[in-house]
Structure 1
Amino acid sequence: MGGCGRAGLPLGLAFAARGMTVTLYDINAEAVAKVNAAQLPFAEAHAGPLLTEAVEHGRLWATTDDASVGDAEQVIVVIGTPVDEHLNPDLDAVPQALSRCLAHLRDGQLLVLRSTVHPGVTALTEQLLTRHGLRLDVAFCPERIAEGRALTELFSLPQLVAARTATAADRAEKLFRHLTEQIVRLTPEEAELAKLFTNTWRYIKFATANQFWMMANDAGLDYQRIQHAITFEYPRAADVPLPGFAAGPCLLKDTLQLAAFHQNNFVLGHAAMLINEGLPLYLVNRLAARYDLPRLTVGLLGTAFKGGSDDPRESLAYKLRKLLTVRARAVICTDPYVVDDRLVPLPQVLAEADLLVLGSPHPEYAQLATELPIVDIWGLTRRGVRV
C-alpha cells in the first residue's frame, strides 16, 4: 500500500531484486502507469535498472486495484503520515488507508506498518482489525532510508522489527532477512519512539548548527572555518554539520509528532523548530542589511529540500522565495532536478540576476562559473558562509 512512493517503490524493488514477487498498490494512477512502463516516477539512485529488470521478468507490477492486497501473503503499508493544518499528528492516516482495503484483507496475512507513525498507531491498527473480526499478524518495521541512497541502505542498515506476538515478529524478521542480516527486535511502542527519536535527533542537530552559524555570523565570523577546526581529526565532534535549511517531509513533522506525544512538553524540539523554520527570515534580514534588495533581482539556486534531490516537499527554499519576493525587486528560481512551472533555466538566472542565493546544495552549483555574488550558507562553494 503506497507502493509507488519514495519509500514504497525502493522497498518493492529491493524485494524483487531478491527474487520475491511484488505487487505495488497505490492510488496514484500516474505513478502506477509509469512503474508498469518501467519508468521511475521520481529520481532514485540505482533504481532504474532494477525496475526495468523486475518488470521485464514479471517480478513486480503496480495497480490501483485495492483488491490486490488480498492476494498477498505479506501486506506492507507505506503511506504518508502527515500533520494536520493545526500541526497536530494525523492519527487516522494509516487506519483510513487500511479501511479502504478491509474487505480484501484475510486471516493469516502478515501486515507490516512501514510508515513513521505517532506512538500508539500500531495498537490502533490492531484494534481496527480486531473490531472487524480479522486475525492478522501485525508488525511495525519502520523505514530508515535516506532519499537517493535507498537501494544501498535497504541492504546495509539494520532493520527494526517490532510486534506484539512472537509469531508476528518471527514472520516480519524472516521477511526482512531477504534484505539484511541485521535485525533489532523491539516492542511496537519502543520502535515507534525509536523512529521519531532518530528523525528528531537529526532535526535538533541541524538546529544546533544553524544556531552556531547565526552566533558566529552576528559576530562577523565565518562559521565554516570554525566548523572545520571543530571537526578536523577530532572524532568527538565529527558529526557537527554546517548550516542549511533543515527541511523535507520528515524531520519537522516527526519532531511535531514527538512533541504531541509528550503533551507538547518538548522545549528542545520546539526551540529547534523556531531555529530551523526561522532560518529563511534570518537570512533575508541579513541580506537586506548588506544589499539594496529593492533594487536587485535575486536568483535562487535550487528549490529541492536537499542537494541532488528532485523532491521539493516542505523545502524551505520556497519560504525563502516568498520572503525575498517581498523585499527584492524580483526573484527568479532554477533547479536542475525539480519539475515546477515557476522555474527557469540556469542561464536565464545567471543573465538576469544581480545576486545569487543557494537554496539547495546541488553539486551542479559547487563550481559555478559566474562573477555574481553567491550567498551560500551551506558551504558548498567553499567561499565561506558568512553573510
Structure 2
Amino acid sequence: MNVSVIGSGYVGTTLAACLAEMGHDVLNVDLDESIVDAINAGECPIHEEGLPELVEKHAGENLRAATDYDEVAETDLSFICVQTPTQDDGSLDYSYVESAAEMLGESIAEKADKHVVATKSTVLPGTTENVVGPALERTSGKTVDEDLGLVMNPEFLSEGTAVHDFWHPDKIVIGATDDESGDLVTDLYAAGDLLDDAELVRSDLRTAEMVKYANNAFLAAKISLVNELGNICKTADIDAYEVAEAVGMDDRIGSKFLRSGLGWGGSCFPKDVDALRAFARNNEYEPTLLNGVVDVNDRQPGRLVDLAASHVDLDGARVAVLGLAFKPGTDDVRNSRAIPVVERLRDAGADVVAYDPVAIENAKTAIDDDSVEYEDSAEAALEGADAALVCTDWDEFDALSFKGMKRKVLIDGRRIDVDRDELDVYEGLCW
C-alpha cells in the first residue's frame, strides 16, 4: 500500500519506518529540511531502540522523506502525526493538526479517487470530526463520507520500546466515518500480521479518540496509586515492593506498572491527563480523582529531596543526580521527574552534578541553571559527592561503585539493584 505520514517526530518516524519494514511504500512529510535530509540519508532523527536500523535499511528504497506535500496524492492513505502542544489551561493547541490537514487537503484537491486521512496524533474527542475534517474539506473541495474518509487510529507506543510496541500491540483501535475507510486501515495492519495476536477495536471517531485518553489516564492513576501505597508503606517500615508483588498476583489488577517510585513523566501521561482534566471541566465536570493522580505525582520529587535532607545538610553539599531522562531507553527529558529534583536541590543550596547515558544535551536545555555540572560517567558524578539521588533506572546503575564518594549516601527513587552493603546510607523513596 502507498502511505504518507505527516510528521517525523517520535510517532511519525516510528510509524513510517515500521510500515516500510512491513512492505508498504512510505512517504514521510516534514517541514524541517534537516530531518528530511537525515531520513533520506538513512539517519534516524530520534533516539529509539531498533529504529535507526529500520531507517537505514529502508531509506532510498520504500521509505522516503520530503518537505512538501506534492506526492501525497499518489498515496492511498495519510496519517497525521504532528504535535499538539499543551496550552496554559491544559487544553491542546490544534494549530499544527489543522495546518497539516489544510496542506494535505490542497495536495489531494485534484485526486480523482477517494483519499483516507487517519489522525494518529493524540487529540481529544471531537477533534478529527470538528478540526481535521473541516480543514480537509476547505482546501480540497471534497466532502467527508463522499470522496474523503476520516479515521482515528491512536498510537499506544512507549518511548524506549516503540518499535517493539508497534510489532506487539495489545490492541489496534480504528475509529472511522465509514466502513470502507476503516477497512483500508485494517488491511494496512493485516499486511504485517499485526492482527494475528492483537485485539481489533472498530468504533466511531470520538470513541477511538477517548480510548487513548482513558488508557493513559488509567495507567497514570495506577502508578500514582502504587506510589501513594508505597508512601504509606514507608511510614510503617513495610517493603512496598513485597506488597505490590502480592497485589499483582490478582488477575484483576496485574503486575505491570506496580513499581513505586519517583512517578511518571514524558510526553504522554502528563499532557494527556492534563488535557483530559481540561476537557472534563469544559464539559462542566470536575475530575477529582485525576486531580489527585497529578497531585501525588507532583509530590514525589519533593519527597526524594526531603529524604536526602534528612541525611545530609544540602546547603553547600555536592549532590549527584543519576538519570535525567524520564525513563530508561530514551533521551527524552520532557516532564522528567529528575528536573524538579535538580531544581529543589539547587533551591536548598546544593551543588548539583548530574549524569545520564544519553539525555545530557536535552537536559541542559530543559534545566535553566548554568550552575549544574554535568559529567560523562556515573563514576565521575559520584566523585567527591556527599549524596547521590537516583532518578532514572538505567541498567548501568546496577553496577555502580561508590568508592569515590565523600559520604556514601544513596537516595533511590527507582529501586535499582545495587550492593547496599557498600553504602553508609541507603534510603528508598517508597520502601
The TM-score range, normalised by the shorter chain, is over 0.9
CA contact (8 A) 1:221 1:386 kept: no
Residue by residue, what CA displacement relative to the aligned partner does 1:327-350 show, whole Å, maximum 9, x if unpaired?
A: 143011111011415632123212
Partner of 1:265: 286
Which residue, out of 42, 51, 56, partners 1:52? Answer: 56
Per-residue CA distance 1:189-230 (angstroms, 9 max, x = gap): 111111100011111011111111222223344423433444
Q: Which residue of 1 aligns with 2:380?
A: 348
Tell me the residue number matched to 2:182.
Answer: 169
Q: 1:193 aligns with which of 206, 210, 220?
A: 210
| Contact 1:379–1:385 (Cα < 8 Å) also in 2 | yes
Aligned to 2:223: 206
Corresponding residue for residue 115 of structure 1: 121
Q: What residue ranges of structure 2 are gaps of 5+ in the alignment? A: 365-372, 421-426
Q: TM-score, normalised by structure 2?
A: 0.83
The answer to whether the aligner puts 1:145 opposite 2:157 as a matched pair is yes
**Which AA in structure 1 matches 2:186?**
E
Tell me, in whole angstroms, the C-alpha distance in 1 between the residues paired with 2:69 and 2:267. 26
Give yes or no for the alignment of 1:378 onto 2:395.
no
Structure 1 residues 377 and 222: CA distance shift in structure 2, 3 A = farther
Contact 1:112-1:138 at 8 Å conserved across structures: yes
State which of 26, 29, 35 in structure 1 corresponds to 2:33.
29
CA distance in 1, matches of 2:223, 2:344: 22
Partner-residue secondary structure (3-state), 1:103? helix
The yes-or-no answer on 1:130 pairing with 2:137 is yes
Task: Give the counterpart letter for 2:178 in structure 1.
Answer: T
Partner of 1:218: 235
CA distance in 1, matches of 2:230, 2:46: 33
The reply to whether residue 293 of structure 1 matches residue 297 of structure 2 is no
User: Is residue 18 of structure 2 the alignment partner of residue 14 of structure 1?
Assistant: yes
Determine if contact 2:151/2:176 at 8 Å carries over to the other structure: yes
Q: Which deviates the most, 349-358 or 220-229?
A: 220-229
Partner residue, 1:86: 89
RMSD: 2.1
- Please list the CA deviations of residues 103-144 of structure 1 after superposition, one character each: whole Å capped at 9, or x if unmatched: 213352111111111111011122332344223211111111
Cα distance, 1:235 vs structure 2: 4.2
Secondary structure at the counterpart of residue 117 of structure 2 = strand
SS in 2 for 1:66: coil
| Comparing 276-285 and 300-309, the one that deviates more | 276-285
Q: 3-state DSSP class of the match of 2:201?
A: strand
Give the conservation status (yes or no) of the 8 Å contact 1:25–1:68: no
Corresponding residue SS for 1:22:
strand
Shift of 1:102: 3.2
Equivalence map 1:358-377=2 (5 Å): 358-371=390-403, 372-377=408-413
Counterpart Cα distance in 2 of 1:105 and 1:343: 49
The alignment's TM-score, normalised by the length of structure 1, stands at 0.92
Assess, with a 3 A threshold, how the Cα gap between structure 1 residues 184 and 236 changes in structure 2: closer, same or farther. closer
Shift of 1:244: 2.8
CA distance in 2, matches of 1:345, 1:374: 19
Mapped partners of 2:185, 2:253: distance in 1? 37
Call closer, same or farther: CA 1:138–1:276 in 2, change over 3 Å: same
Work out the CA distance in 2 between the residues paired with 1:27 and 1:218.
52
Alpha-carbon distance, 1:97 to partner: 2.7
Give aligned-pair identity as a percent: 24
Which moves more between the two structures, 365-374 or 112-121?
365-374
**2:157 partner amino acid:** I
